[in-house]
Each structure stands twice: as structure tokens, then as C-alpha cells.
Chain A
Amino acid sequence: MTDPRRAPVPSKPDTLAELKPLFELARSQLTDTEPRRHGASLEAVQRCVERAHRRQRQRNTWRAGAAAVLVASIVGWFALDFFRMPLDMEVVAGELSATGQVSTSSTTTTIRFSDGTQLAVDPAARAQVASVRANGADIRLERGKVRLQVTKRPGAHWNVLAGAYRVHVTGTSFAVALAEDGEQLDVQLFSGSVRVSGPLIEGGMDVTPAKRLSIDSRRGLVRFQAVASPADATPTVTPPIPEAPLPSPAAPDASTANDDDTPVRSVSKKRPAKAQTAVPSWSSRVAAGEFDLVVSAAEARGLDKVYQRAPLVDLEALADAARYARRSSVARDALLAMRSRFAGSKPAKQAAFLLGRLVEDESAPAALEWYERYLKEDPDGVHASQALGRKMLILHRQGDAAATSTAQDYLRRFPSGSHGPSARRILTGN
């Protein structure tokens, strides 16, 4: 079956003259031929001529009421949607078990939530996504370092539970490090604000940007120091945790970068210099949660021009921003442009998976096609686990017998993957 959203084939109309066959097709097929119910049409019009004024009054009243109901429904629908449906998680790099436990690995685990929040877990850290809600999640940190960039939204509610400490955030970028013995905590804030509570600070303490909070509950020490320069902006805990300095707020986050095969898309490791200039890059805006600004900037520039001429990194940022801002058509077109213009690149391959995610609610068959395409192009890619898991679920919903073999394949390749329980249920027929 031809993929309706595949990159364009070589025949590419440049002028309207080349579209003439389509115009002719429309003219020949869409004529003024009257349906057989001609008499009924005219009689209906004539009746309405007689009752025109009464109908108009009734229509106006109905429309006003319908509009009010419609507006209330829209508001209620979005509110309901926001507050009831838990956030989706996307494992960009690394593995996450069904219980939310981050698997230890040699690289940083990166998880992206559907509101744009991003969690990065250091290789040596032990952490768990303990619970996910519609407006946030709880991250349990047992040891090591995590970094969280929380998208600022009304009612957002995120917690990092680090030992006996609780770091509560509403919209910020920060890092937390906890020593293995659980007695030393370090919190560094890059933007926004967080509130930390726990031993020695039971009343809670607000940490603001350019401040660092260090607590040693064993020695009864609480230090709250200003950060004079990016070099000082390194949350640390004393050994035995080996220290890898976290980057400054102005520089890209090296600790969230994976190896070359699994780049983290939206955290801008690609343009460090640009973050220092007066005009933030689209990637850095996405990292700051400014999704609407990126989409607006693209629209101001002209979306078609952006699709045709923007560099890959900007298209990636636009695709991400549009997804988070719920501008599906812009996201789709940006992803298609990536695949068309940068075919074969890693981001272009990953775009296939994201296109599947975009269309999955509207068309499971189209999503299935995109997941299969991604698995073929990038079988060991960062989204392979998710693509295979979602493919399995779609096949199962369709009653396709291939769901069974797909479930087996999934468990073989990703035994501790997040779709493991579903795969086992499919295999046991439960």
C-alpha cells in the first residue's frame, strides 16, 4: 500500500500548469447536474421563502445557544483532558521497566513526557518514575544525579523524592544529586524555582536561579550559596559518588547527550554558541518550554519556506515544538520535510516513529505503517522499543494474528521494556 505521507516522488509540479489534469478532473466530475430530487429541492426553497423570517429568528437563537454550549464543551473537554489523562512518556534513550524503574546502563537515560518535560538520569544513578499524573509525575531518586526540565503549565505538579527530601517543582530546569547513603543532597537550579523540604529544612526552602542548596544531614549542615559563574553551577555530593559536572544553564547539557547513535533531539547540544547570543535558537526555546514561540516564529518566517529551506536542527525543533503545542499539522509537515530533505539521517529515521505517534489516534493502519517503516530503517534506534510495542498493540486491537509473533519478538529484544506486561498478556491470551 502506498504511504500517503511518504517523501515526494520525482515528478514534482512546480507550476499550476502542471496541475491542469487535476483541474480537469474536478470540472469533469463535479458538474452542475441536478439530483433526481429536483422537485423536492425547489419546493423546499419555496417553502422557506414563505417562512424565511421565522426560520432566521429560530436559527439565530439556536446558534447562540449552540455556541455557548460549544464553548463550554471545549473548555470542559480540555480541562477534563488535562486533569484526567496521565501524561504519556517517551523513552528517548535508555530503558524503563514496567514499574517505571530506570534500567542502569552505560549512557544517560532520557525520558520525555507529553507536556514537554524532560528527565535525564545519569548512568550511575538509580531512579524510578514512581507515578504519573495528568499534571506531573513523581521521580524517586535513590542515588546519583538526575536533571529535570519541567514545562511551565498552570497546575503543573512535579516532585523529585530524593531520599528523605522532596523537591517540588512547577516549571523549571534543575539538577538534583543524592549521595548513596542518602544523607547528602545537592540542588542546582538553572531556571524557575523549586521548593525543597526534608531533614533540617522541614519548613521547606525555595531555591532560585543562581543559587545552590547543599545539605549534609549527617553533619547537620545546610549551605545556601550564590552561584557566581557557570563554573560554580555544579551540584555535587562528596565521594563515593563519582562527579561529572553538570553544565551551566547557558550551555547545552552534555550529560543528557547519548552516544552518537542516539542523539537527544530537543536539548540543544548542536548549537552551544547560539545559546549565548541575543536570539535564542529554536532548539533552546524548545528546551525552555517556549513551544508556541517557536511555532509562531516559523509562521512569521513562512512555514513553506521553513519546510523547504530550514536546516535540519531547526526542523527538528519545530517538529517538537509543534507536537507539544498540539499543532499536529505543522508537526507532521516538519517531520515530512525532514524525511524528504535529509533522507537517511538519524533524525529523518526517527521522524518516521514520530509520524506514527501523530497519526495513531486518527488512523491505526497509517501509524502501523510508519512504525514498520521506522523499524526497518532504524532497527536498533532509540525508539525501537516503543515502535515495536505500539505495533504489537495495534495488531492486537485489530485482531491480527501477527500480534502474537510481534509480542514474542518484543520480549526477546526488550525483556524489561515498558510494553512487556502487555506482550505477556497477549501471549497468554489474557
Chain B
Amino acid sequence: MAEPVEPDAELRGDDDETLVRGLIAKHPHAARIAWERFSPMVRRIVRRTLGPANDAEDLVQEVFMQLFAKVDTLRDPKAMRAFVTSFTMITLRRELRRRKLRSWLGLRPDPMAGDLRVVHPDPIGRAALERFYQVLDRLDARDRTAFVLRFIEGFAIAEVAAALSVSQATAKRSLAHAQSRVLLHVARDPLLSDYLASTLHGGEP
């Protein structure tokens, strides 16, 4: 049985444990506070995993729907952040698999390029970012999410493993596999090679 719900001020504190209790007890403002606290992280991870031309907001909502539906299964309320990350990864991997299936069926991918002009006014950087995510499209869902968490988000290996719900050994293997594939295909892409050469040697491409 839930403990007495804390007032709003307590929910808004840094303590995730209190927030979790508020969510379980269905405190009227707990959902909003959880959203304000965690949606930036979720949105960032979703965008960086899917790439620039994809609308992340639907997936962000889906993550929170799952989170709120299953928050009472969280065994350690202090691990709320990792719990949110885990749901984000599950949702992302499902979306990536859905896209692979669409690709396999010969269905055209969701149209790209429209949002890029909003994201990055620099056409060279825009093209390089688009091409980089086309390289990431070659990875399977687990390798891709591991790669993004580790090298773009800066997660430690243990955090990557926890987010993906795998052992550290498995996380390392995924990362090694992703790394070799990404290096190979970036090397083969003249636009990306040019972009890297110019940034390494002169700053702006």
C-alpha cells in the first residue's frame, strides 16, 4: 500500500523516489512532473538514435505511456532514471525493427530531408548528418542503440548494458560489431570521408 502522497513541492524535488511514489499513488501532478523531468532525456535519446529526419515526439509519448502503465513494477524507486532509459530503448528497438520490416517489404521509408532544413541550415553538415544516419541504418536495432548510447550519449559500458537489459559482455560485443561496421561504411562514403577530412584539418567543413 502506497505511503501518503507528498505535496507538489516534494514531488518537484530532486528525489526520484518520491516522484515514483507519487506516480504509483496517481498523484494528479506526478505525471506532469515526470514528463518535465525526463522527457528532455528521452527526446534527446530518441532523436539521436533515429536521426534527423524523424519525428521523435510520437515515440516520446509512447515511452511515457508505457512508463506510466508499468511504473508500479519498478522494484527500486531510486532507479527511476534507468527505468525510463530502459523503456526508451525498448520503444526505440521496436520502432527500428518496424522500419526494417517496412524496408524489407519494399515499402518506401518515411520521407526524409524535410526536417533537415529546419535542423541545420548548413547544407554540408546537413548532408553529412543524413549520410551518417544512413550508415547507422545498416546496423541492427541493438547494435545501433548501443552505439548511440555509448558514443553519442556518452554512457558508460555498464550503463549501456543496463539500458539494453543485457550483460556487459553482450554490450561490448554489440559495440565492437557496430564500431567495425560504422568505420567500414563511413570509410566507403566519399561525402563523409570528405567531411571528416575537412573538419580534422581545418575546422569548418
A-to-B contact residues, CB < 8 Å: 2-16, 18-19, 21-23, 25-27, 29-35, 37, 41-42, 44-46, 48-49, 52-53, 55-56, 70, 73-74, 77, 304, 307-308, 329, 336, 340
Contacts and interface: CB of A to CB of B under 8 A. Distances in A.
A13 B132 CA distance: 13
Given A11-B197, A329-B138, A49 B188 contact: no
A19 B182 contact: yes
B68 interface: yes
13 contacts: A8-B189, A9-B190, A13-B196, A22-B128, A26-B129, A31-B44, A34-B39, A44-B61, A45-B61, A56-B69, A308-B184, A329-B138, A340-B188
Interface of B: 31-32, 35, 39-41, 43-44, 47-48, 51-52, 57, 60-61, 64-65, 68-69, 101, 105, 119-120, 125, 128-129, 131-132, 138, 151-152, 179-184, 186-197, 199-200
The 6 residue pairs across chains A and B that have the minimum distance between CB atoms = A32-B40, A11-B197, A32-B44, A21-B199, A30-B47, A52-B69
B190 A4 contact: yes
A29 B181 CA distance: 23
A13 B48 contact: no
B189 to A, nearest CB: 7
Contacts of B47: 30-32
B195 A21 contact: yes
Contacts of A2: 190-191
A42 B35 CA distance: 7
A29 B120 contact: yes
Contact of B196 (A5, A11, A56, A329): A11
Main secondary structure of the interface of A (DSSP, over half): helix
Contacts of A10: 193
A141 B186 CA distance: 51
Nearest to A42: B35
B149 to A, nearest CB: 12
A8 B190 contact: yes
Given A13-B183, A42-B35, A21 B44 contact: no
Contact of A45 (B31, B129, B131, B152): B31
Contacts of A27: 48, 152
Nearest to A340: B188
A57 to B, nearest CB: 12
B32 to A, nearest CB: 6
A45 B190 CA distance: 43
A174 B47 CA distance: 57
Contacts of A29: 52, 119-120, 125, 129
A327 to B, nearest CB: 11
A11 B194 contact: yes
Contacts of A56: 69
A23 B152 CA distance: 5
